[in-house]
Amino acid sequence: MKLHALPKIAVAALALAVVAAPLGLIAQAGGTVLKAADAQKMLPSAVYYKAQSAPAQLRNSGGIKFPDGYYVLATLVDTSGYSSDVQAKYQAYFIAEVPITVGGHSLPAGIYGIGFVADNKLVVTDVGAHDLFTVSSANDSDIKRPMPLQFTTDPSGGFRLYEGRNYVTISR
C-alpha cells in the first residue's frame, strides 16, 4: 500500500465512525419485549413483599431486554394472603436492573411492588409496601387482546406496561 493512500483511508474511517455513532445510540435506546415464556425463566415462583412470601403468577409475566443485556421484569402475584389495603395497591412484582423512567418519574434499579389503582393511576412501592410514587396511567381502547399483564413497544419510543387496557410508559 502506498503511503499517500493512508490519509484517505483514515478520513474514510473517521467519516464512517461519525455516521455509525448515532446508529449505536439508537440501538442502545431500543430493546426487546419478552413474552411470559421468556420472562418466567428468570423470575422466582414465589416473591417476598411486606414480610410475606406469595406465589408469582408466572403465566402473567413479561419484560424488556435492553441491548446491553439488562432487564426489566414483572409478574402478577397472588395477593390473597395480604390485607385488603395492601391488595388494593399491590398486584405485581417489578424488577428493574437499571434505572428507568416510569410514566415520566425516575425509578432507580431495584425490586418493587406495583399496582394499577382507581382513577387511572399506577402506584410504585418498595418491598416494605411504602409508597414511593404514583403516576397517571392511560387507557388503550384499541388494544386487540388485553391481557392481565404485558409489555409492548410504545409507538412514540420506549415501552408500555399494560394491565388489561391500562398502561404506563417505560423508558431508559
User: In the chain, what percentage of residues exceed pLDDT 70?
Assistant: 83
- 49 and 7 both lie in a single domain: no
**Band of residue 30 on the pLDDT scale cut at 50, 70, 90:** confident
Dihedral sign of CA atoms 96, 100, 103, 105 in order: positive
* Region 130-154 average pLDDT: 96
Looking at the fold, whether 59 and 141 belong to one and the same domain comes out as: yes
CA 61 to each of CA 41, 76, 80, 125, 134: distance values in angstroms, whole numbers, following the listed order: 10, 6, 18, 18, 21
Same domain, 17 and 91: no
Question: How many distinct structural domains can be found in the chain?
Answer: 2
Q: Is the pLDDT of residue 157 over 60?
A: yes
3 and 45 within one domain: no
Rounded to whole angstroms, the Cα distance separating 81 from 54 reads: 8
Query: Model pTM?
Result: 0.82
**Cα 157 to Cα 129: distance, rounded to the nearest angstrom:** 30
* 83-123 tens-digit pLDDT: 999 999 999 999 999 999 999 999 999 999 999 999 999 99
Q: Who has greater pLDDT, 137 or 8?
A: 137
- Count of C-beta atoms within a 10 Å radius of residue 2: 5
Structural domain harbouring 6: 1-30
Give the span between the Cα atoms of 139 and 53, in whole angstroms. Answer: 31
99 shares its domain with 162: yes
Tell me the average pLDDT across 20-47: 76
Amino acid at 73: L
Whether residue 112 contacts residue 94, with contact meaning beta carbons closer than 8 Å, is answered with yes
Asked whether residue 14 falls in the same domain as residue 93, the answer is no
Q: What is the DSSP string of 1-20?
A: --GGGHHHHHHHHHHHHHHH
